[in-house]
Amino acid sequence: MSQINYMNSQIQLMTIRIEATQTKINTLLSEINQLETEVERLEGILNTRLALLLHRIPAAYKRSVVPQFGILLFSRDLSDFVDRAKYLSAVQKEDASLVFQVKATQNSYNASKQVREDKKKQLDQIQQQLQQQTNQLNQEKAGKQKLLEETNGNEATYQRLLAQARAEFEQIQGILAGKGTESEVGSVNQGDVIATIIQYQSCNSTGTHLHFTVSKNGAAENPFTYLKSVSYTNESGGDPFTPSGSWEWPIDPPIQFNQGYGADTWYVRTFHAYSFHNGIDISGSSNVKTVKSGTLFHGSYVGNGGCLLRYVRVHQSDDGLDTFYLHINYVR
């Protein structure tokens, strides 16, 4: 099966990338450990030299205030004077050399610490990259397993699902564009039962589910922006489930989440039937309820393949949004 072969190659490629990233992490960990050892070594040397320098500073200060004629005064003879002068000069050079060594060691210590910190930041970034790659690999594996389950590894089944996905997308686009045939039913309140989900397969639907779309002036919006958090199970192949609004759900929880919203859903990546899923697919309880009060319309649309797709639309009274509920039976 060509799609399974493609997914296998993607899994293999991601596995290779993960192995390469892990190698980078191991290399960085080794370098950081070496830098830790070097920083500790330099810190020890620096502390020793600083202690020695602090010990020599008082003596150096005393030497600096001794007048040059004092050396001559306390010298036994000229030869002794020369020796004393050479000794003082040598001591001063040693002091200067020690100061230079302390400064050089301090510079090396600071440089090694900075390199270590830079390596740690780089390690954090690569570890985040590894987590993202691991998540993507798990998503690819879950997607492959889901595809195998839905198609039983059969190419003909895959092609049928692909055609259905394309046809459903075209029908939904037509419905959002106002091409459906609709009749006004009347006013409904929030929470009223307005439909039931068709059980098993229906027009361009591979199985029992409700397609729920929110539209503003004919353009689809993300339903998760409006729906509230709820208990659910994710059967989508890894699509994100991110409700952040205040609306009640059109079916009773717990929600079985079958497909998400947007350009990166499992169906979009797997079937390539369309580039953007303009609603969410959910299942669970059979009764469909309106999420907000408004005016109810019964609708239908004949699209690709000639089948009749039934839906209901509620034009919401308080915000002017339209909510669409697809793959349903009317109840009133």
Would you list the domain boundaries of the chain? 2-151, 165-330
Cβ proximity of 11 and 137 under 8 Å: yes
Backbone φ, ψ for residue 205 (5° rounding): -120, 130
pLDDT of 286: 94
Q: How confident is the model at residue 194 (pLDDT cuts 50, 70, 90)?
A: very high
pLDDT of 232: 96
Cβ proximity of 282 and 327 under 8 Å: no
Q: Choose between 134 and 212: higher pLDDT.
A: 212
Q: How confident is the model at residue 316 (pLDDT cuts 50, 70, 90)?
A: very high
Whether 219 has a pLDDT exceeding 50, the answer reads yes
Residue-wise pLDDT for 79-136, tens only, equals 544 444 444 455 455 555 656 666 777 777 788 788 888 888 999 999 999 998 888 7
Q: Choose between 152 and 1: higher pLDDT.
A: 152
- Give CA–CA dist 290/284, Å, rounded: 16
Cβ proximity of 292 and 323 under 8 Å: yes
pLDDT of 63: 46
pLDDT of 159: 77
Whether 289 has a pLDDT exceeding 70, the answer reads yes
In terms of pTM, does the model score above 0.75?
no
CA dihedral 282, 285, 287, 290 (to 10 degrees): -50
pLDDT of 75: 43
Architecture of domain 2-151: Orthogonal Bundle (1.10)
Q: How confident is the model at residue 54 (pLDDT cuts 50, 70, 90)?
A: low
Whether 69 has a pLDDT exceeding 70, the answer reads no
pLDDT of 34: 87
**pLDDT average, residue stretch 35-59:** 71
pLDDT of 181: 95
Best CA proximity match to 168, nearest among 181, 176, 297: 176
**pLDDT average, residue stretch 218-238:** 94
Least confident of 38-52, 54-68, 188-202, 212-226: 54-68
- Residues above pLDDT 90, as percent of the chain: 38
pLDDT of 95: 55
pLDDT of 62: 44
Whether 52 has a pLDDT exceeding 80, the answer reads no
Residue-wise pLDDT for 161-175, tens only, equals 777 778 888 888 889
Whether 68 has a pLDDT exceeding 60, the answer reads no
pLDDT of 49: 64
Residue-wise pLDDT for 235-278, tens only, equals 888 899 999 999 999 999 999 999 999 998 988 887 777 889 99
